Each structure stands twice: as structure tokens, then as C-alpha cells.
Amino acid sequence: MSKIIKNLKQFSTSNDRFEGAHLLCPGCAHSIIVRELLNCTDDNLVIANATGCLEVCTAVYPHTSWDASWIHIGFENAATAASGAEAMYKTLKRKGRLKDPDKPVKFVAFGGDGATYDIGFQFLSGAVERGHDFTYICLDNEVYANTGGQRSSSTPRGSSTTTTPAGRVSYGNKKFKKDMVAIMAAHGAPYVAQVAPNKWKDMVKKYQKALATEGPVYINAMSACTTEWKFPSQDTIDVSDLGTDSLVFPLYEIENGHKLTITYRPRNIVPVRDYLGVQGRFKHLFKKENQHIIDEMQKAVDLKWELLQRREEAGI
């Protein structure tokens, strides 16, 4: 059941199931994305967490930040851990062995883009194809942040990372970001969405829809990384605003693999270069010889936005 927080007082006294005490960097967007998920429901939660920043910062023995059932196995298999737990829940419910059989249980998996786009891609695909009733949330910071800022297949073209550094003869990462939302929609998942923590009302609404959906759900959450995107830690929300308002991270949802709805239309669309300009990872793109990459990115963003609008209009 969705938990409705009506006012600030209620918000301040609401029991946090994701504790504030954790080791994430100041300014890390992960905690906002995660806390809102745990706060948006009163249902019991089983959470599977892939290896990554969130995991190493929230469960260092003898401490835990999780006031919910939580499991971490490896880098690649959070979706499968959730699958196994969900299968056990179904069996025990059928056999009448649950302690509180009437209270709903939701299964949620968190993974970074390394865990989701790359090493755990097959595991996520398998779990969604099998139709487990769970919500997978990718904390997409477009880099292997936990291991020292190496590129992932979510890293945008032109980004400087520790394995694709910008240099005398290189503008950084040469590959294009993988379109994970489209790939998950193509699995036929009943609900797929992209969210951003700066648009938290939109994010929470999608979370509640996700948890209410029967079957597998994929949510791609933009998670601005102060350390690897290289911006001051107090600017997380401002950078995120530029991400959504430049349409580099458009917010939309896809139901049943086809019905696309745009959930946020910026009043003033800002140029992509404004978004790039506040991040150290794109600094080198502003050199004369690399300007074409910025132009290319703007074109790609425009094209994607056009595509999303046309798909929404078509309603199929």
C-alpha cells in the first residue's frame, strides 16, 4: 500500500527504513533515490542489492542502514537474488507458512549501471523474462564509481573516465550510451520508466505505480555523481535539473512494452552544453577540436526527444 506523506511535519517524523547513517559521498544522489523508494510504501520490503557504491556504503559489519530485509550476493546477480526470494515467497504463501500472510511484500533490486547495463545484464534480462513480481531500480551514474571511475556501457560519448581518459589525442569515451529503458521495454515488462531525484514527485509517483504493478518493473534513475561527474557536492540537484531540463535525461514511462507517456516537459529546454559545462568529466569537450562532440550530442538529444514525442502521440 502506498504511503502518503501530506506535510513537512509528517515527513520529518516519518520512520526512515533507509537510515541516514551511511558512508555515501556527501552530495551523492543514490541516497535520495533509495530513501524515497523505502518511504513511499508501508508494505514489507525484501531488497536485493548488487555490489557497488550503495552496497559498500550501507552494510559494513557490524552496521546496517537497512531497516528492511536486505541481501547482497555479488556484482551481477541482484535481480536473481530477488527472483529467488520472490519464488520462496510464492511457495510459502501457497503452503501457508508465512507469519503475516495478509501483509503485502514487495521485492526490489538496486544496482548501479555497471551491475545493470554490463555485468548483470543477462541476470536482469532472465529475471524480467521469467516474469518475477519485482522492481529493479538502476542507479545510473554512468560510470563504475565504486571501483574508481571506469567507463560502463552507460557512459555517454565524450565523457572522460579513468579507462577512457581525455588526452592529447582523445576526447574520452567513444561509445554511445546503451538505451537500457528501450531494451527493458522490449522485454515486454509491464512497466518501465526513467526517473530523476530532482523531480521527486514524479519519481515517487512512478515508484508507487511500479510497486503496484504485478510482474517485473524496470526503473532507470539518473544519479548524479559528485565524485566522478566532478561537480561540487552541494550542486547535485542543480546538475540533475540541467540533466532533465536539457532532455539528456528525459522523464517518461512505457507500459506493457509499448504505451509511452512523457511525464515531464521542461518549460524552458536548456542547451546540452549547459549541462555538460558544469561537469568536470566533459571539460575537455569545450576545447575547439572537441566541439563537434557537443554538437553531435545535442543532435542525438533532439532526435531522441522527437522520437519520444512521436511515440507518445502514436499511443502504440
Element containing residue 13 per DSSP (H, E) = helix 8-13
Give the bridge partners for 136, in sequence order. 109, 218
Residue 134 or 191 having the CB closest to another protein: 134
Residue with smaller CB distance to another protein, 122 or 170: 122
Closest approach, Cβ 85 to another protein, in A, equals 4
Q: What cell was used for 11?
A: 515527513
Binding site for another protein (CB under 8 A): 44, 46, 48-49, 55-56, 59-62, 64, 66-74, 76-77, 80-85, 87-92, 94-95, 97-100, 103, 105, 122-123, 125-126, 129-130
- Residue appearing with cell numbers 507458512: 97
**Beta carbons of 210 and 217 less than 8 angstroms apart:** yes
CA–CA separation, 176 and 303 (whole Å): 14
Name the residue nearer to another protein (CB basis): 96 or 315.
96
CA-based nearest residue to 140, from 240, 40, 217, 72:
240
Query: Whole-number minimum distance, CB 203 to another protein, in Å?
Result: 24
Give me 213's grid cell. Answer: 504493478
26-55 CB burial, b ≥16 within 10 A, e <16: ebbbbbbbbbbbbbbbeeebbbbbbbbbbb
Measured from the CB atom, is 92 or 303 closer to another protein?
92
Closest CA to 228 of 151, 287, 296: 151
C-alpha cell at 136: 529493479
Q: Which is nearer to another protein, 110 or 282 (CB)?
A: 110
Q: Half-sphere exposure of 59 toward its Cβ, with a 13 Å CA cutoff?
A: 17
What are residue 77's phi and psi, to 5 degrees? -120, 30
Q: Which of residues 66 and 275 has its CB atom nearest to another protein in the complex?
A: 66
Complex with another protein: residue 189 or 251, whichever CB lies closer: 189
**Count of residues in the chain:** 316
CB 60 within 8 A of CB 27: no
- Cα(259)–Cα(253) distance, rounded to whole angstroms? 8
